[in-house]
Amino acid sequence: MGYATVYENGLEGHGDLKPSNLLYSATSHNWKDRTTWPCSEYPWLIKVADLGWADAWRDLGFTNKVAREYAAPERLGNEGRRVVPQASDIFSMGVIVAQLLLGHHPSKNLPAAIKSDGEWVRRANRREWDLNGISSYLLRGLIERCLQPNPELRPSARECLIVLCEELKDVYRQDILLALDCWSTESRTWSSEVVGASDAARSLLLVAGLGEKEEGKAFGNLSNRLETVKVVDFYSLEKWVVLAKGITSFASKSDVVDPPVIDKVRREARQYLGQIFGDLERNTLYRLPQRPDFRPNVQPYERLAELIETIVELAGFDLYEFAEAPVGLSPIAASALAFCAAGDARTYKSFNDAETYLELAITRYRNEAAPYYFRARWREAHWKVKNFIEKKVFESIPYRLHSAWVGDLEKAVELQPEWNEPLQLLTEWRERFGP
């Protein structure tokens, strides 16, 4: 987030990103509640140091004054050394992130690669990296983009941020992107109201523990704001959900919450389940504008799944029970709800339970690509974990398994050919498994 901001406000490059320039310190003493994520597991503050030569690498021509094993190839090339603003740093970040995830440098032969500038550039241009130990396709895909020899093909810092937030959301069920956007001064167009609502909800949570007067004032302001939201469609419901979720989250931390307000939120959530999702059709869902605060390739079906899961929670229903008997929902909404239950079960129950709910999602609406795609991804990831993939080769997967995975991807591509992720993964698997 910090680098995305400074790049957008004049900094052209750090110039020497490497592990020794990343400083960290414990922050658990700053948290009132030390038992919740992320404080319970990763209470660290990370800072990037050694900015004294930032931009000088480019302005003064010192492009080769850099740790070779983290240098972008354009900085050491013989055909005109140069630093590409932001993109050269992104390459270094890709190497560092890969090293953090793998526990070692991603070069296939580091001692040979760093013998000379020319050798490093040749191997970087040939993309001689070993990323097989990274199980997350999302992160591995991001790293591969960061390590592109062509700097124009590398992602921006903000694109990296979006993907990292999506990974946190997938693994820890924590959606922090909206909160991060609230700290940014970047203007919003279509999603400005949703982000503004998230800002108000976050402000309420920040005053928890500051005293009854401050808590009561903040709670009153947010309750009044919630009253002004008229839910008439999918988008206005997204805005309502952000505020309602803020109120219910605050209720668990404070004694000033008026119980009738929580009851009202629950009643309205139950009402909106039928009002918005009762006759929702796929065409309506896919006509929605892209939300700038979501990663660019998030699918409308995933967006629906996230919203309906939150509404079910606010309504006070058990996710699994309601997913099994979704009274009053349209077929695609009932499918998305089962998809939510699958993701939740994958984290908190078992993979078999997750597969059961994924099958339910497919059965309820067979013309949606996302359940097929994620079933293939999850099955492959589960196989890796179960069989300690770091000690086995990928090609050792039995044919009956990978043929089923490929079949799911082929179905996803057939249903939604414009969605790049299934097609990219299908291409990769065909190269490894054969047609």
* Spans of all domains in the chain: 2-174, 368-435
Mean pLDDT of the 252-263 span = 69
| 64 within 8 A of 53, measured Cβ to Cβ | no
Omega before 296 cis (within 30°)?
no
Residue 24's DSSP bridge partners are 46
Comparing 116-125, 207-216, 407-416, which segment has the lowest mean pLDDT? 207-216
Residue 75: C-alpha distances to residues 18, 67, 154 (Å): 15, 11, 15
Higher pLDDT, 253 or 411: 411
pLDDT of res. 180: 61
| 284 within 8 A of 268, measured Cβ to Cβ | no
This model's pTM is above 0.75: no
Residue 248 pLDDT level (bands cut at 50, 70, 90): confident
pLDDT of res. 187: 36
Calculate Rg over the CA atoms of the chain: 24
Question: Would the pLDDT of 22 be above 80?
Answer: yes
Question: What top-level class would CATH report for the domain 2-174?
Answer: mainly alpha
Rounded CA separation 241/265 (Å)? 10
Helix (H) or strand (E) holding 375: helix 369-386
Structure tokens at 373: 């795609």
Dihedral Cα 426, 377, 180, 99, nearest 10 deg: -80
Relative orientation angle of helices 351-364 and 331-348, to the nearest 10 degrees: 170
Relative orientation angle of helices 369-386 and 351-364, to the nearest 10 degrees: 160
Rounded CA separation 39/30 (Å)? 9
Rounded CA separation 191/298 (Å)? 15
pLDDT of res. 2: 64
User: Burial, 165: exposed, middle or buried (Cβ in 10 Å; 0-12, 13-18, 19+)?
Assistant: buried
Mean pLDDT of the 301-305 span = 94
Please report how many Cα atoms fall inside a 13 Å half-sphere around the Cα of residue 192, on the Cβ side.
Answer: 6
| 273 within 8 A of 315, measured Cβ to Cβ | yes
pLDDT of res. 244: 87
**Residues of the chain above pLDDT 70, percent:** 70
- Backbone angle region of 344, left / alpha / beta, with phi > 0 → left and psi within -120 to 50 → alpha: alpha
Question: Would the pLDDT of 369 be above 90?
Answer: yes
Question: Would the pLDDT of 307 be above 50?
Answer: yes
